Chain A
Amino acid sequence: MADTRERRWRGIDRLDARSRPPRSLFVALLLASATLITLDYHGGTDSAMEPARRVVGEAFGPVESVTAGVVRPFTSVPAWLRSQGALGDEIRELEAENSALRNEVETAGFDRNRLEQYDGLTQAAQDLGQALVPARVVAFGPSQSFSNTVTIDAGSRAGIGPDMTVVNNDGLVGRVLRVTRSTATVLLVTDTESIVGGRIGSSMEIGFVHGRGSLADDGGLDLRLVDDAVVPAEHDTVVTWGSSGGPYQPGVPIGEVTEVYSSLLETSQRAVVRPFVDFSALDVVGVMVPTGTTSDRAVVEADGALR
């Protein structure tokens, strides 16, 4: 073993005399990278790199879906291995949380009435009628790329298009950036580039929810209210403010206010919002599509029926 390795290293040394690092090629590749960066940076959303992204996405998407399908049984093993004691603890915790929540609902009649009004208004104002296309997350962008994006295994064939809202059963996940035939890339609300119009559930005040780029549970989102006279209360729920044409559908829960900062220098209040969605453990998500969309899979209609 040591003998063969020794021989190979000697071979490399002989090779090296002929292959000095070619500076011209190195400079050419550096310039090529710089060109790519310039093209993509100045192009914005319709940059020259979008067709290339799409072609590479068409090739990689199915491979990522298959790989995620293969590793899924193994990644879910830790969940089965929880002991009965842990499950018992969880039930006690959930029961306690349940009674606390019931208590809250009974005492917060005022807020509840307002929320009901709000829900009624939105339903009357615009035929909500959103259907959900179910999908699974098959790939995560790494943190060392400094952006929080994921790939889901549903694309244009499933009726998904750019700017559609992505949710899971806890709340808002993000929006679709671009699609290929079988996959879509989703920008999570935790990304630093993500800005969502948010509304405080109890006071109806509007503001903007900024991502902070952290997937950790204590990461949170920043909420800046438009009206600086309003101080959001802790545990206030923040929902999307939304617009019919814009990327985010209205009324999707984002998270709850955990801390509030107000500074004299800044013109608006800043609050930290803890998202309802656990972004480090994303799996099944739903993409909100207009009702009646044709899709290659079963669609969950607004009334809960499968089609």
Chain B
Amino acid sequence: MTRFRAPIALVAVVVALVLQVSLFPHLAWQGVVPNLCLLVVVAAALTINAPSALLLGFAAGVALDLAPPADHVAGRWALALTVVAFLAVRVRQDVRPTAVAVVATVAAASFVGTSIFALTGLLLGDSWSVGELLRVVGIAVVWDVLLTPFVLPPLMRLFGRLDPRLAAA
């Protein structure tokens, strides 16, 4: 199944992105929705090999930047999700991904990713107060952690099965 690994990972990103913009806004809390693309990237970084995970993070970020209705400066989510993928790959080497470690990784990834996105916005001249930014980042972290038990295990099982070296082990 190695041949299908890249397409399947990209399909996961596309599905996550479409659900994020078309389904979850109906459940949004103050307009903030769970960042499913970030969850896919974290799941990939915790299972597949590091270079693929980094590339997937970048690709998911570019998709978030360009797919309608995005209108922010392109490249901001790409930067944020690349960093998220890198951090998650590092975490995987430091600790065994137990359930608690996975949830903690998602919380940290969500905080770092959304913050990087917000900070690049401030650098590029967005007029937002820091309090407002922190409120949005906080809600985003809560959403992502809430969805982790439902999204991460199946995704990690899927990605794990796609890696031949893991399947053989």
Residues of A near any B CB (own CB < 8 A):
7-16, 18-22, 25-26, 29-30, 32-41, 49, 52-53, 56-57, 60-61, 63-64, 67-68, 71, 75, 138-151, 177, 180, 183, 185-187, 191-193, 213-216, 280
Contact = CB atoms under 8 A, between A and B. Distances in A.
Contacts of A71: 22-23, 26
A41 B125 CA distance: 11
Given A57-B67, A63-B14, A15 B78 contact: no
Contacts of A53: 66, 68, 70, 74
Given A8-B160, A19-B50, A29-B55, 6 more contacts: A18-B49, A56-B63, A64-B18, A146-B128, A150-B69, A185-B70
B148 interface: no
Interface residues of B, number: 74
B140 interface: yes
A37 B49 contact: no
A280 B14 CA distance: 24
Q: Per DSSP, are chain B's interface residues mostly helix, strand or loop, or mixed? A: helix
Interface of B: 14, 17-26, 28, 30-33, 35, 47, 49-51, 54-55, 57-58, 61-79, 82-83, 86, 89-90, 92-93, 96-97, 114, 117-118, 120-121, 124, 126-128, 132-133, 136-137, 139-140, 160, 163, 165-166, 168-169
A282 B102 CA distance: 36
Contacts of A35: 75
Contact of B17 (A9, A38, A60, A149): A60
Contacts, number: 212
29 contacts: A11-B165, A13-B96, A16-B93, A20-B93, A21-B54, A21-B90, A26-B82, A29-B82, A35-B75, A36-B65, A37-B75, A37-B124, A40-B74, A40-B75, A64-B18, A67-B19, A67-B22, A68-B22, A71-B26, A139-B18, A144-B32, A144-B118, A144-B137, A144-B140, A145-B72, A147-B70, A177-B71, A192-B126, A213-B128
A254 B129 CA distance: 25
Contacts of A38: 75
A20 B50 contact: yes
A36 B62 contact: yes
B23 A15 contact: no
Nearest to A280: B31
